């Protein structure tokens, strides 16, 4: 069993508050709460919410899930909250424009598979699946006014996303302010000890939730705010709509290959946020990178193996690594390439999109423009070229298709 200080270091790994004094304060509160839990034998209640704005989860979502899992490993109870009410408003925290409001039908359909995907990481026996519409839709107008009286308009307008929209004379709708209040009310209603979220949730967790819990006479939740995982481009946050995501509903080979495609500069943040490495192993990895004692290629293979093992186990991850070496480092085409029978005069662009080798026509065009598409090993640049049977189409580094 880890000592309390070791637990604090383990649980705070990857935290990103943007202010060392806040990080120190949260670590202190966490240490106190862990000591209390150990004395009473009562596990901490640890919460994170997920708004089902799409049907699929990706690696970026798992950053907070793995932190939840770490608490479970230490014997604590996890509340996995599906934002069945908050998703209908949409979190403005990481947006510089109004988010589209989803219908109740869209939200419930999207959330249907979330728990199933989450259990790839979380322990079902130590996880409560909750839907926040159960309590949020019961809030009266009187209670909403009471909750809102804890905040000023200036607090919201000082947030970067709202500030930019205000300066650009873009509309800011009143209902967008409610999101942080509702998330804070979630923490109060469930009487949580710890709330986990991405760094874009700093205001919602560290201000809204703690303020409302104090207002109701509760001990404020401890916030653990984690860094945001960039996409495979290494630049912007992982997003399905941007085509830079690594989905959970994929194969070990695909996940391994996608991690191998990230730029070298992104390796440290992937190691901190997407592996299950101990602080010592993480430190050794980062030291090896900074001192150049660890070759970037070898480092990335360690990273891809570590991440893929989390979701598919060490054996499947090892097979994925072997296939990657055979296929890409030795320049071979895989033996099990799927086949596609051409239907008339289909163009390169049409086949790439219809066979899900790219998520959209625009992504397909981008891959072609970036010389990421080949026929029998030769780069092609015309998206409208008519394809002929008998060749192997390659899109990116990992997707192959035999044309018949």
Domain range annotation of the chain: 4-226, 252-329, 339-403
Give, in degrees to the nearest 5, the angle at Cα 173 between 170 and 136.
150
Residue 387 has pLDDT above 90, yes or no: no
| Kind and range of the H or E run holding 350 | helix 348-354
pTM reported for the whole predicted model: 0.73
> CA–CA separation, 216 vs 98, rounded Å?
31
Class of CATH domain 4-226: alpha beta
> Is the CATH number 1.10.357.10 carried by domain 339-403?
no
pLDDT level of residue 305 (50, 70, 90 thresholds): very high
Mean pLDDT in residue range 99-122: 75
CATH topology agreement for domains 4-226 and 252-329:
no
Confidence of residue 79 (pLDDT cuts 50, 70, 90): very high
Quick one: average pLDDT of 346-370? 87
- Give the C-alpha separation, 224 to 15, whole Å: 6
Fold of 252-329: Tyrosyl-Transfer RNA Synthetase (1.10.240)
228-232 mean pLDDT: 90
Confidence of residue 35 (pLDDT cuts 50, 70, 90): very high
Sign of CA dihedral 313, 318, 319, 324: positive
Question: What are 128's strand-pairing partners?
Answer: 79
pLDDT tens digits, one per residue of 177-193: 998 999 999 999 999 99
Per DSSP, helices labelled H in 41-111 are: 62-73, 104-111
How are the residues of the chain apportioned to helix, strand and coil, as percentages rounded to the nearest 5? Answer: 50, 10, 35
Average pLDDT of the residues of the chain: 87
């Amino acid at each position: 069993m880890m000592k309390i200080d070791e637990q604090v270091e383990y649980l705070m790994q990857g935290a990103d508050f943007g202010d060392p004094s806040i990080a120190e304060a949260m670590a202190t509160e966490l240490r106190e709460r862990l000591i209390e839990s150990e004395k009473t034998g009562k596990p901490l209640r640890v919460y994170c919410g997920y708004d089902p704005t799409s049907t699929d989860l990706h690696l970026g979502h798992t950053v907070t899930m793995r932190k939840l899992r770490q608490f479970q490993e230490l014997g604590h109870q996890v509340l996995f909250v599906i934002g069945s009410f908050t998703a209908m408003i949409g979190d403005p925290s990481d947006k510089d424009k109004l988010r589209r409001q989803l219908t109740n039908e869209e939200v419930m359909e999207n959330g249907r598979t979330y728990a199933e995907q989450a259990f790839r990481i979380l322990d079902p026996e130590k996880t409560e699946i909750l839907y926040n519409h159960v309590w949020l839709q019961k809030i009266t107008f009187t209670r909403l006014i009471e909750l809102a009286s804890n905040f000023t308009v200036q607090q919201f307008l000082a947030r970067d996303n709202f500030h930019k929209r205000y300066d650009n004379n873009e509309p800011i709708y009143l209902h967008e302010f409610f999101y942080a209040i509702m998330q804070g009310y979630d923490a109060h209603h469930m009487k949580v000890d710890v709330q986990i979220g991405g760094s874009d949730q700093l205001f919602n967790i560290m201000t809204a939730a703690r303020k409302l819990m104090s207002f109701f006479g509760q001990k404020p939740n401890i916030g653990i705010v984690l860094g945001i995982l960039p996409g495979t481009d290494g630049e912007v946050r992982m997003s399905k709509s941007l085509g830079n995501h690594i989905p959970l509903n994929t194969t070990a080979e695909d996940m391994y290959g996608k991690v191998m495609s990230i730029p070298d500069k992104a390796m440290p943040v992937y190691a901190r946020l997407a592996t299950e490495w101990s602080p010592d192993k993480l430190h050794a990895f980062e030291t090896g990178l900074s001192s150049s004692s660890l070759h970037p290629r070898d480092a990335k293979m360690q990273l891809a193996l570590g991440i893929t093992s989390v979701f598919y186990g060490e054996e499947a991850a090892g097979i994925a690594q072997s296939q990657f070496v055979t296929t890409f480092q030795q320049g071979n085409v895989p033996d099990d390439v799927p086949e596609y029978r051409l239907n008339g005069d289909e163009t390169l662009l049409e086949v790439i999109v219809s066979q899900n080798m790219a998520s959209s026509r625009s992504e397909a065009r981008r891959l072609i423009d970036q010389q990421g598409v080949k026929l029998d090993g030769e780069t092609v640049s015309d998206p409208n070229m008519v394809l002929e049977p008998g060749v192997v189409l390659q899109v990116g580094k990992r997707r192959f298709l035999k044309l018949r």
